[in-house]
Structure 1
Amino acid sequence: MTDVKVLIRKTLRVPRSAGQPGDGARVARQMDAALTGVGFKASGELLGHVSELEPGAAMDLAVEVIGAVRELLGDHVPHNSYFIKFPDGVPDTVEFWVKCLREAFTPTRRKWFPGDRDLLEVLTEGWVDLLKLPRYGRYQHTYEELLAAHDELIPSVKDRVTVLHLGGTLPDEVNRLYLDLASSVTPLGEADLVLLKDLAAESAVLPDAVAVRENRAVINAVRLEAGLPLVFVDTVTDVLRVACQASGGDVTLQERTKFRSFKRRERRVLLAALDAVIAGNSGKLGDVAQYIGPWKRLGEFLHPHEYPQFPQAQDMFAVARGERKVRTLAGRAELAFMTEGVTKAVSVLANAPGLLVRSLDRLLRAAEPDDVEVVADAATKAFESTSGRVLCSLREHLGNRRTPDAARVFTTRGRRAWVTSDSRKPLSRKVIDRMNTTLDIELLNRMPVYERLVVDPAVLDVALPLTGKATEDGFAVLPRGTRTPVDGDVLRFFVYWRESKRRTDYDLSVLLLDKDFQYAGHVSWTNYSTDGAVYSGDITESNHGATEFIDITLDTVTAAYIVPQVNIYAGEGFDEVAESMFGWMTRDRGQQGAPFEARTVRTRSDMRGSGRVALPIMFARDDKGAWTANWTHLYLSGGVNFNVVEGNQVSTSMIARGLVERDYLTMSYLVDMLSAKAGSVTMWEPGLRLTEPVVFVGLDRPEGLPDGSEVFTRERLNQLIPA
């Protein structure tokens, strides 16, 4: 059964308890006080619900709520700091190393060292392994001693306050979240795909439509296990995804899947789905060529020759084995492009509108002046049959094609990034304007009409959530490309990790860049402080969890860009450790408290990418001195071990420049279209009184919305992308 805490963390809604009525007012007050301590508050409805439960049921619900919130913020684990008084009392880097070395010679500490002979050999060789020194890289005090060394946090009016709302019954909340995820018109992130699988196994409802093929595969894998026929299947690749998902493999088909043995009834379900797809359109056999290897391996487990009632499926596996030749549409288009030119390629791609739209930039670049009209007309027709997500992506792409990019950044579905120079020929302004106008009209026609639209201005600069793979799971996380103002005098970054099977050493670092994206300094385990930035100390093992911090005093630092990163120095990857997270806090200058204070946390995100260097976010200062957070959610490949900030500063600075100088399509684009359809829009401000149900668009749901209101907050903004 779905964990209540999972629902709370995902939706900030608390399912109604089925407990007996009674007097839980005291528990409600205690819960609200505990929530206040971590920067949350319960809505009036939620407090009223807990107050009307009998004390035992009220306490059970309160424990779930507080536990979920603490996990959401990363407050469920102790965040110790190597230097007990951080950010004060951090020594000079070299002086600290010398102190560690001197203490290794002290007679009272020799019992901690492998031996004087070993140490002398190390010194004779001219280098010192810091990890062999007894003081270095290991906590020298307990978490309780750390807390005792710091004064209590002084509250600030700038401290974050997040409201928790009351939801429906547990089954209602499960079904609501399941339908939101299943019917998403944009791909989900890895964590949401796992959650969708769990909810699909529990929910009794079936969405009217599932647009994203990965979501179809997750739902169908659950149906396959239950012996039910597959649904929403219209390509052979849909069936391959189901087999991968059911085998515990990669539903995105990016990684190799080791197929499991399927039960006989499961084989019948999969082969029946394949047979139905091909019987409806034999041209879909051409899709097999894209994944020849996986199809050949899957055929060894499905034994299609044992099922003569599915002849079309047998033909499909004949194509996979090379016994029958079928050219893919993409292959035919490429051949036409290379031999007969752009117009012939366009005529072939007319049968695949989505592929034509994704190829539009290349076609326009290669088109002769007389052929541009042919390409533009074909694209205009293709727009009618292409998903809104792809059209929005194209709209954003074209907005950046008037001039070459300073740095061209590529990202994979796994958020792995690499960068290169931009050698593409710019597109003409006339062509871009024509295509953009056509896109705007098409998207506007698809937008719904909301008569009473209320918008929180804070949502306008959020980048369109065109894919969940451009973000991470966590608290208050926003899509890549979003830019939000920073409210505070001091930035504090934190990284926490806990190793699973072997010693793992992560290093929190910050790269400082000037206005031209040139190196201006760094802070890491090799340089504890510089230019208003201070490092909390290097932790080199994490069997019980480890935390590192970096403080940046914003009016002291002279750099124009601040790029935090997490380097894997040794051990397990981000997707291998038991737990890993990155987050940032803001504080007023002089605000006291422990290094980690939950109420000052602005965001906390998981780190689960496949690279060895994480670039979760960056910060930029404008000409007036104001700072903004620029969300990145990227990973660099890095080396297997020994990654340091000095080793990737060139690629990191190029990526930073490419992202900062890119124009992202934001929620303001959709809000403008929603406003045009509605005729007007009301901008939300605290204290605004509403008497009728509205459609609210914002980062978080405010209190006081009338019953029956439709709410689109950060976890549901993708629902506003036209289908």
Structure 2
Amino acid sequence: MDNLESLVIARRLRVPIGDAPADSPAGWGETAARQLDAALLSVGFTCSPGLLERLASLRGESVIDLGVHVLAAVRTLAGDHVQHNAYFVDFPANVPDTVEFWAGLLRTALLDPVAATTVQPATLNLLDLPGYGRYQHSYADLLAAHAELVPLAGDRVTVLELGASLEVEARELYFSLAGSEAPLAEEDLAALRSLAAFCDGEPERIPVRENRAVVNEVRLAAGRPLLVDTVTDVLRLACGLSGGDVTLTTPTRFRSFRRAERRILLQALDGVATPAKLGDVPRHREPWKRLGERLHPHEYPKFPRAAHVFEVARGVRQAASLNGRVEAALSAGRTGDAVELLGDTPGALMRRLDHLLRSGHSAAAVLEAAESAATGASGRVLLSLREHLQNRLAPAAGRIFANRRGKAWAAPDARPPLGEEVLARAVAVLDEEITRRLPDPGELIVDPDVLDVALPLSGKAVVPGLGMLPRGSLSAVDGELLRFFVHWRQAERRTDYDLSALMLDASYGDPELISWTSYGNDFAVYSGDLTEAAEGASEFIDIRLAGATRPIIIPQVHIYSGEAFDEAAEAFSGFMTRDAEQEGRPFEPRTVRMKSDLRGSGRVALPLVFLRGDDGGWRAKWVHLYLKGHPSFNQVEGNHVTTSLLVRSIVERDHLRVRYLAGLLRAKSSAKEHTTFIGLQPPAGLPEDPRVYTPGTLHELIPA
């Protein structure tokens, strides 16, 4: 129950209290509520007037008990649940020159007769130097060396709203995640699984297959009919029941199923294993073989079509997939046949539209087929195609590819251009169909700060956290000082992460670096290199934006050695902004603008890039990418060329943003009986019962 409460607070920024009657002795509940609000302000949060009033009506003891959970949830959200020490106790002051620091350590080691036996100056290994990479002072020493942060108006204040009961809030979050039109991140799928086990019912429509697999786990346990219409739906469910990956990205070790479970799975499989759908089996041939060994289909002769699935997987029975037939037609130059084959799968046709238009077939015929297919494709496919086509108007710096875990690579764009008239007609078809599907927003109120937030067409690579925005979003950066941070704690073996920054000129060249090999320059300074984290370690980079000599700044986290991001006991990163006169500790939660966990199999994390505009102002563009990197010894010096190409491809891409949907919604607005608000955070004074869309619920704007 406590986990669900923390989940609601972190994801919805609402405190679930419900309608319990007021029971506070005079003054005691109000005093406790004010104390809680003061504690929240110290980490950059505050209670809304409604929440404060509701807390004041409770018993003081009840407020304190609730406050413990609320504070724990928001401190974790901001990254303040751990102690952030810095290698140099006075950071950002008194950070030595890199070479002088190394020379000082070497001199000290050579004067120590014991340490000198392990130091070979001819092949200097920094890890051999006593004191290198390990804290030389306690966290208490660091606190004593820094003045308390002086709160300023620019500090972050995130408002916590009054929520309904935990049951109601959890159900709303469950319906929002389960009914999402966009695929969810791994963390959201885990949250969905917890919510599904707690909540009754489910949304009428669950369009994303991975979400459906999670819901099916609960339906199977409750003896309810499964939601399956393809053979792959059954495979995903079997993976979920085995504690594996319902996205089918990583292999699952199937467990032994009970006889009743085997019968249900085979019955569901028999119901959907038509000859047309057997073509999906070869895509996941090996998992199907392993699952067959667990389900024993030969024991269930009354499900013959289920047995066909495993025959296809073993190669005993042939089944051509739709994609295979389409590719064969395109390879033979029979584009018309390919278009006809795709006619029964509108989404697949729309995804291939660019390819079909470049195939040499009549563009008019392809567009006519696309116009017919648009009404049957999902809203997310239409929006993704709309974004794709608007980027075909001009040659791209490069094509970027990213998998569901954010691992990315780039390649030159060798595609021939599409004609402007063709693009204009295709875009018009998409705009018309997307507009048709949007609801009447009533009175539409849009926060200008949200207009440049990208639409969340996929949440797979975006780890939930504080201040997180979808890939491609742009947000203003206020403050004179930009401070990056990373914190990690190793699970079993020595682990060394390195925070670095790559700074480029306007043409993405002339690199300047801040890392463990270069502690600082005239406007940036590094907090020092930590090489192990049994008790946790933090690194920081300060950048004074007014003095920055490069307009592009790319913070990144490298795994130098040890555990991967998703193997470590804990790993997260983010950034803070401060004004020049603010001092305080290296980590001050009320100045944190973004914090999220690090994960994925990549060895280099690129969360976002900072860009200076022509007006001198700075903005962040969110990239959410991971580079494969090397198994060990990753450094910013070794990957800056790859990083530059990836970042340029993201920065120069014209992402589809809230601005686009807001324009379509305004054109459709007619009724005034209700209000729709879209923004980063709902303001006070909205009309009663508005529809509110914030970054955490923007996926609900994607039409079905």
TM-score class normalised by the smaller sequence? over 0.9
Matched, 1:618 2:602: no
Contact 1:535/1:550, CA 8 A, preserved across alignment: yes
1:22 corresponds, among 12, 21, 24, to 24
Deviation at 1:365, TM superposition (A): 1.2
TM-score (ref. length: structure 1): 0.95
Deviation at 1:704, TM superposition (A): 2.8
* Matched ranges for 1:156-175 at <5 A: 156-175=152-171
> Alpha carbons of 1:65 and 1:510: their partners in 2 closer, same or farther (altered >3 Å)?
same
Q: Which residue identity lines up with residue 714 of structure 1 in the other structure?
A: P
2:389 corresponds, among 398, 413, 417, to 398
Deviation at 1:226, TM superposition (A): 4.0
3-state SS, counterpart of residue 652 of structure 1: helix
Matched, 1:671 2:662: yes
3-state SS, counterpart of residue 173 of structure 1: helix
Deviation at 1:694, TM superposition (A): 2.0
3-state SS, counterpart of residue 662 of structure 1: coil
- For 1:275, the equivalent position in structure 2 comes to 270
Distance 2:518 2:608 in 1: 21
3-state SS, counterpart of residue 502 of structure 1: coil
Deviation at 1:708, TM superposition (A): 1.6
Deviation at 1:622, TM superposition (A): 1.4
3-state SS, counterpart of residue 358 of structure 2: helix
- For 2:425, the equivalent position in structure 1 comes to 434
* Matched ranges for 1:261-300 at <5 A: 261-278=256-273, 281-300=274-293
Distance 2:65 2:7 in 1: 15
* Matched ranges for 1:645-664 at <5 A: 645-664=636-655
Contact 1:227/1:265, CA 8 A, preserved across alignment: no
Q: Which residue identity lines up with residue 207 of structure 2 in the other structure?
A: A
* Matched ranges for 1:183-222 at <5 A: 183-222=179-218
Matched, 1:144 2:140: yes
Contact 1:247/1:260, CA 8 A, preserved across alignment: yes
* Matched ranges for 1:177-256 at <5 A: 177-231=173-227, 233-256=228-251
Deviation at 1:142, TM superposition (A): 0.8
3-state SS, counterpart of residue 555 of structure 1: helix
Contact 2:118/2:128, CA 8 A, preserved across alignment: no
- For 1:331, the equivalent position in structure 2 comes to 324
Contact 1:484/1:630, CA 8 A, preserved across alignment: yes
Deviation at 1:404, TM superposition (A): 2.2
Deviation at 1:387, TM superposition (A): 0.4
Q: Which residue identity lines up with residue 246 of structure 1 in the other structure?
A: L
TM-score (ref. length: structure 2): 0.97
Matched, 1:9 2:46: no
Distance 1:155 1:27 in 2: 22
Contact 2:4/2:195, CA 8 A, preserved across alignment: no
- For 1:446, the equivalent position in structure 2 comes to 437
Contact 2:440/2:671, CA 8 A, preserved across alignment: no
Q: Which residue identity lines up with residue 541 of structure 1 in the other structure?
A: E
1:357 corresponds, among 350, 367, 381, to 350
Deviation at 1:103, TM superposition (A): 1.5
3-state SS, counterpart of residue 133 of structure 2: coil
- For 1:718, the equivalent position in structure 2 comes to 699
Cα deviation code 1:442-486 (max 9, x no counterpart): 000000012122111111100010111141211010001001111
Contact 2:4/2:170, CA 8 A, preserved across alignment: no
Percent identity between the two aligned chains: 53
Deviation at 1:208, TM superposition (A): 0.9
The alignment yields a C-alpha RMSD, in angstroms, of 1.5
Deviation at 1:117, TM superposition (A): 2.8
- For 2:678, the equivalent position in structure 1 comes to 697
3-state SS, counterpart of residue 61 of structure 1: helix
Bigger mean CA offset, 218-227 vs 639-648: 218-227
Distance 1:196 1:668 in 2: 29
**What is the number of residues matched between the two proteins?**
699
Matched, 1:627 2:615: no
Cα deviation code 1:79-136 (max 9, x no counterpart): 10101111110000000001111111334xx56x3xx3332xx22xx12111121111
Deviation at 1:400, TM superposition (A): 0.8
Matched, 1:135 2:131: yes
Contact 1:450/1:674, CA 8 A, preserved across alignment: yes
Q: Which residue identity lines up with residue 363 of structure 1 in the other structure?
A: L
- For 2:82, the equivalent position in structure 1 comes to 77
- For 2:255, the equivalent position in structure 1 comes to 260
Distance 1:582 1:303 in 2: 47
Q: Which residue identity lines up with residue 16 of structure 2 in the other structure?
A: P
Deviation at 1:3, TM superposition (A): 3.2
Contact 1:404/1:423, CA 8 A, preserved across alignment: no
- For 1:688, the equivalent position in structure 2 comes to none
Distance 2:42 2:63 in 1: 19
Q: Which residue identity lines up with residue 70 of structure 1 in the other structure?
A: R
Q: Which residue identity lines up with residue 181 of structure 1 in the other structure?
A: L
Unaligned runs of 5+ in 2: none
Contact 2:505/2:552, CA 8 A, preserved across alignment: yes
Cα deviation code 1:327-348 (max 9, x no counterpart): 1111111111112421121111
Deviation at 1:430, TM superposition (A): 0.9
Matched, 1:709 2:667: no
Cα deviation code 1:1-43 (max 9, x no counterpart): 3431121011100000658721311110101111111221101
3-state SS, counterpart of residue 604 of structure 1: strand
* Matched ranges for 1:361-380 at <5 A: 361-368=354-361, 371-380=362-371
Distance 2:290 2:222 in 1: 23
Unaligned runs of 5+ in 1: 682-691
Q: Which residue identity lines up with residue 51 of structure 1 in the other structure?
A: A
